Structure 1
Amino acid sequence: MIAETVCSAVSAAGLGIAAVSAYRKRFLTAARIAAYSLVPIGLVLTGVVGWAADTAFSLKAWVGFGVLGAAWLIFLGTRAVERRRGGTRAERKAAKAARREAVAPAASAPSLGQGASSTTARPAGKPQAAAPAEDFSDIEAILKKHGI
């Protein structure tokens, strides 16, 4: 009952301010103020104010809000722990498999120095033009290793 009275008083005061604004030839401002001041009366007439007042003074509603808050905090806590761990087990296994698939098996061979041993074991009949191609294969292997 008191909430309806307060809303009615706020609307009456707003309409009074709108009338003063209209008297001062500020019609757009007066129209906006009148529109805002009619909102509380509309809420009273639709029953929203009564529902909100009943909810605000209901112990059952506040316990419900407390339960929702606790659920929200638990959800946030589990998300924080999951981010800190790096995801669920299935997500970590999938990420590890993706990392293995991203690197070619022979990609690390040139970086380990096997490329140098292949130049010494080259047969004498091959031309020297093959040496720059091996340099590019090393670069390609490094780029593949990094997923580029």
Structure 2
Amino acid sequence: MIAETVCSAVAAAGLGIAVVTAYRKRYLAAARIAAYALVPLGLVMTGIVEWVADTAFSPTAWAGFAVLGGAWALLATTRAVERRRGGTRKERRAAARAAHSEAVAPAASAPSLGQSARPASGPASRPASAPRTNGASDDFSDIEAILKKHGI
């Protein structure tokens, strides 16, 4: 009841200001002030002000807002945890299957690359300070040479 009275008083005061503004020959500003002044009156007439006032002073409504906030926090937390884990369980399984299939045949696509895509492993590509070794340790000797070159 008090909220409706306050809104009606604000509307009446706004319309009074609009009349004074129109008296000063500022019709566009007066029309704008009148439009703003009629909004609270319209809200009172539709019953929205009563509903808002009842909701604002209702403990049940505030408990409902608390439940909605808790639900939102729970959803946001589960989404954040899901992102940190790398997606849903279904997405993680699909990624694990893809990683497993790559691990089974890691060099399966090497022949299709051709000679130009492979790194050169001849004596010209190896630094002079690197010792010559055979097999898989060629890669490590190149790395050792680079590290020695930079003083590491």
Q: TM-score, normalised by structure 2?
A: 0.65
Q: How far did 1:94 drift? A: 2.6
Q: TM-score, normalised by structure 1?
A: 0.67
Q: How far did 1:92 drift? A: 2.0
C-alpha change, 1:108 and 1:97, in structure 2 (3 Å) is farther
C-alpha change, 1:46 and 1:71, in structure 2 (3 Å) is same
Q: How far did 1:105 drift? A: 5.5
In structure 1, how many angstroms separate the alpha carbons of the residues matched to 2:22 and 2:32? 11
Q: How far did 1:84 drift? A: 1.2
In structure 1, how many angstroms separate the alpha carbons of the residues matched to 2:16 and 2:109? 81
Are 1:11 and 2:16 counterparts? no
- Quick one: higher RCO (CA 8 Å, sep 6+), 1 or 2? 1
In structure 1, how many angstroms separate the alpha carbons of the residues matched to 2:34 and 2:28? 10
In structure 1, how many angstroms separate the alpha carbons of the residues matched to 2:26 and 2:107? 78
Instruction: Provide the identity percentage.
Output: 66
Q: Which residue of 1 aligns with 2:22?
A: 22
Where structure 2 has 5 or more consecutive residues not aligned to the other structure, the ranges are 119-152
Q: How far did 1:59 drift? A: 1.0
Indicate the SS of the match to 1:87.
coil
In structure 2, how many angstroms separate the alpha carbons of the residues matched to 1:104 and 1:31? 76
Q: Which residue of 2 aligns with 1:66?
A: 66
For residues 47-102 of structure 1, the C-alpha deviation after alignment (integer angstroms, 9 at most, x for no partner) is 1111111111111111111111110111111111111111112112334556768x
Q: One-letter code of the match for 1:69?
A: G
Q: CA RMSD in A?
A: 2.7
